[in-house]
Amino acid sequence: MNFDKKYLKKTWNENLEQADLIAEYFYDILFHEFEGTEELFNNTEIHFQKMEFQKAITNIINNLDDPDKVETYLKESGIRHICYGIVPKYYKTVESALFKTFEQVFKDCWSQKMKEQWQLFINFILETMKKGALEIRPDLSE
C-alpha cells in the first residue's frame, strides 16, 4: 500500500456526508460516460448494487490498518466479479469512473494531495482485485 492510510481515513471521515453520494455518482458516471457498461448490470437490482458498493468502499477504508484483511477481501471481490462478467479488461474504465466519482464527491476539498492519494488508493483496489481474478483465471489478462 503506497498511499497514506491515515490521510485517506481522515478525508473519508471528514466528508462522510458526501461519501453517501459515491455509489450514486459512480454508477451515473459509469453508465453515462462509458458505453456498454450498463448492460453488465442487466441482471442486477441496481439499488442493492449501489448499497453493496457503498459498503465495500467503507469496509476497505475502515480496515486499512489490516492490510492482509483488505488484500484478501479485494482478491475475493476480483474473483466474484468474474462471475458477474466484470473482468480485468474493464478495470481501466472502472478506474476512470471511480476517480471522477471521488473528484466530484469531494470537490469542495479536492486538493493535489487528495487527488494523488485517492488515485493511489483506486489503483491499489483495482490491482489487488485483478490479482485475485487472474490467480484463478490467468486467461483473462488484458
Neighbours of 82 (CB within 10 A): 17
**Superfamily of domain 5-137, CATH level 4:** Globins (1.10.490.10)
Q: How far apart are CA 66 and CA 139, in angstroms?
A: 30
Question: Which among 101, 90, 119, 126 is positioned nearest to 15, based on CA atoms?
Answer: 101
Tens-digit pLDDT profile for residues 15-36: 878 777 899 999 999 999 998 8
Q: Which residues contact 49 (CB under 8 A, 6 or more apart)?
A: 27, 41
Q: What is the pTM of this model?
A: 0.90
Query: Domain coordinates of the chain in residue numbers?
Result: 5-137
Tens-digit pLDDT profile for residues 79-119: 999 888 887 888 899 999 999 999 998 888 899 999 999 99
